[in-house]
Amino acid sequence: MLDAEGNSPGATEPRRPPVSREERMHTDRRNLPRLLSEAERWFDEALRAALEAAGAAPVSPTQIQLFAVLDEAGTTVSGLARRMGVTRQTAHQAVHGLVTAGLLAQVPDPASARQRLIRRTEEGRRAHRRAERILEGLEEELAARIGRAAADALRAALEAPWGPPPSARAPAVREDERTHAEGTAETEVEET
């Protein structure tokens, strides 16, 4: 049985009113890396769909990423892997698929007899230009959806220099976390 305010007799805390959708969305706020990943996926899926609708052979997200980081002079598979943040094996598989599709070619590296450079073929250059036009259209579509000012602000924030990743610094440990960790360590020592 509930009292006049909707609380159970003997309850230690008053019953909370239901949380609105807006409040829930605010408390379930997604972190920035997740939002960036979702944005990348939005562009990737739209680009792949547009390319396939135009009659291009299906490509994977990794192959799209590889195409985006490949420069005109050519790059080694190891260099592509570093730029993409993937293993050399993953980059090699993506290169192999694009070579088979006739979009990339492997050529000798003039700087090293042991290395081969990956370059776009003529068909690959045409596909790259087509993809760039599609991406420009997608950026315009995004601006129409979220507003030109928001799209421009997003671009400005992403183009701003962020500096190197702060991976060399560990996050500061709060005093209450340190005390808890030390207490846990002492307890473990006493039990052994």
- In the chain the domains, ranked by start, together with CATH numbers, are 31-158 (1.10.10.10)
15-46 pLDDT, tens digit per residue, is 556 656 666 555 568 899 999 999 999 999 99
Closest to 70 measured CA to CA, from 58, 85, 59, 80: 80
Q: Which residue has the higher pLDDT, 191 or 108?
A: 108
Rounded CA-CA distance 164/46 in Å is: 30
Least confident window among 37-46, 83-92, 145-154, 165-174:
165-174
Closest among 77, 59, 182, 65 to 119, alpha carbons compared: 77
Nearest to 101 by CA among 77, 124, 122, 133: 124
Predicted pLDDT of residue 166: 86
Question: At a CB cut-off of 8 Å and minimum separation 6, what does 89 contact?
Answer: none
Q: What is the pTM of this model?
A: 0.65
Q: Rounded to whole angstroms, how far apart are CA atoms 152 and 160? A: 12
Q: Which secondary structure element, helix H or strand E, spans residue 114, and what is its range?
A: strand 112-120
pLDDT of 109 above 60: yes
CA–CA distance, 22 with 38 (Å, rounded to integer)? 20
Average pLDDT of the chain to the nearest whole number: 83
